[in-house]
Structure 1
Amino acid sequence: MRPHHRLRDTSLVAGAAVAVAGALLFGAPRAAAVPTETVFPIPIAGISAGVTGLLSAGHFYMTATPDPDTPGITRVGPYTGVFVHWRNISTGEGGITYLDNPGGTQVRTGSGTVVAAITVPDGPGTRILALLPGAGAWSVP
């Protein structure tokens, strides 16, 4: 091995040691925890009847936004008047939540990977016929 290769290798090792020691002594910069919004890849698609009785087809996407500062809580929205059927596949917990807040509804899903289906209520007085329920998955800290 030539002498200048040894010098280069020694410099790399010394530089890495200084970087690790600096991080340990002075603390590494902390990453800011920001909520990450997940848009469900499968939208809710259906037909609705307006106040005039005319039919129109449409679709909309739901979102899930877990907050890293409050573990186990997810805000689901922004639409109202639908059901969220969710299951935490990490813990086995599950439930159904009716979304009634235009800004989104908080759901206590627990930490882990959560899957959900979004359905529209049916019955007398319902003006929406869902042809495809929405679905998605996200991770909750």
Structure 2
Amino acid sequence: MRPHHGLRRASIVAGIGVALLFGAQPAVAAPTDTVFPVPLVGASVSATGLPSVCVMYVTASTDLATPGITRFTGGGYCNVFIHWRNISTGAASIAYLGYPSVEAQTGSGIVLATVTVPTGPPDYPAVMVQPGMIQPGGGAWTVP
């Protein structure tokens, strides 16, 4: 084999390597799930008069592909309010989590939340019984 053939092969291999390096998609981090460490525990009587008990852990999911957005997912069939506040920006709101999930535009930064059971607004007919049995859930996470 002549020396110029080896040089040609090396330059072709190097060229392919450079093309693959520049053509590769950037690595994207997987979504991050944060399960609230404090579960929601609620008891209520529905409009039909039937009692129900709810114990639920809420998960806050964030993704680098959708910055500033948090997806809340419940671990049961409870309908709850998520009162969140972004302590980095001061933004705050309430998200209504039915089944299975809801998205909120929390903004980027550190976010704190409390999870409560509805207490009977017109759109959510429930009457709380024995308020001492109710434990609000809660958690904190960082939104990219």
Q: TM-score, normalised by structure 2?
A: 0.66
Number of the residue aligned with 1:22 = none
RMSD: 2.6
Structure 1 unaligned runs (5+)? 1-25
Q: Secondary structure at the match of 1:37?
A: strand
> Is 1:123 aligned to 2:120, yes or no?
yes
> Is 1:137 aligned to 2:140, yes or no?
yes
After TM superposition, give the deviation of residue 49 of structure 1 in Å. 4.5
* 109-118 or 73-82, which deviates more: 73-82
Q: 1:128 to 1:68 in 2, by over 3 A?
A: farther
Q: Which runs of 4+ in 1 moved over 6 A?
A: none
**Separation (CA, whole Å) in 2 of partners of 1:80 and 1:131:** 13
**Separation (CA, whole Å) in 1 of partners of 2:59 and 2:68:** 16
Number of the residue aligned with 2:35 = 39
After TM superposition, give the deviation of residue 94 of structure 1 in Å. 0.7
**Separation (CA, whole Å) in 1 of partners of 2:54 and 2:96:** 21
Q: 1:111 to 1:41 in 2, by over 3 A?
A: same
- Sequence identity percentage: 48
**Separation (CA, whole Å) in 1 of partners of 2:112 and 2:103:** 15
Q: TM-score, normalised by structure 1?
A: 0.67
